[in-house]
Amino acid sequence: MTDAERQGEGQTAGRTAYVAELQCFLCGSLAGSIETDRKPLPPNGVWHPVGGGRPQRVPDWRALRCPRCGGALYAENVEAVVRYDEADELRREAPRRGRPPKWLVEERRRQRDAAESRL
Ligand SMILES: [Zn+2]
């Protein structure tokens, strides 16, 4: 990763993504969801299988099939969601060993104070 990329990361406040449920034409079961960055839905996107499987980038979600009966899928309920950079999430949810780092303790205290002052 270059320095420029590293700096760019800190500036992203989140991006809009569109998530659609993919349902089976034949049996009607929910197979998972597809996430894209555009609307109307392009064929390519990130496939999230139902049941907590690993998200996967696919070139064309229409080629996916129902895991239950092999039927074709259709997209429904397209919803706009705000996503934060994955790198950002990883940083926030990095596994903590032993005591949390000082900056995290500080951040939590700030968040707690902010929450309490709103009461
Ligand atoms: Zn099916």
Question: Which of 26, 25, 73 is closest to 48 using CA atoms?
Answer: 73
Distance in Å, CA 80 to ligand 1 centroid: 26
- Which residues, by Cβ under 5 Å, contact ligand 1, an ion? 24, 26-27, 66, 68-69, 71
Round to whole Å and give the CA distance between 49 and 45.
Answer: 12
Question: Which of 68, 60, 61, 75 is closest to 26 using CA atoms?
Answer: 68
Give the pLDDT confidence of 61-81 residue by residue, as tens digits: 999 999 999 999 999 999 999
pTM exceeding the 0.75 threshold for the entire prediction: no
Are residues 17 and 81 in contact, defined by beta-carbon separation less than 8 angstroms? yes
What's the whole-number mean pLDDT along residues 5-30?
Answer: 81
Give the pLDDT confidence of 30-61 residue by residue, as tens digits: 999 999 999 999 999 999 999 888 999 999 99
Distance in Å, CA 13 to ligand 1 centroid: 38
Backbone angles phi, psi at 102, to 5 degrees: -60, -40
Q: How many residues does the chain have?
A: 119
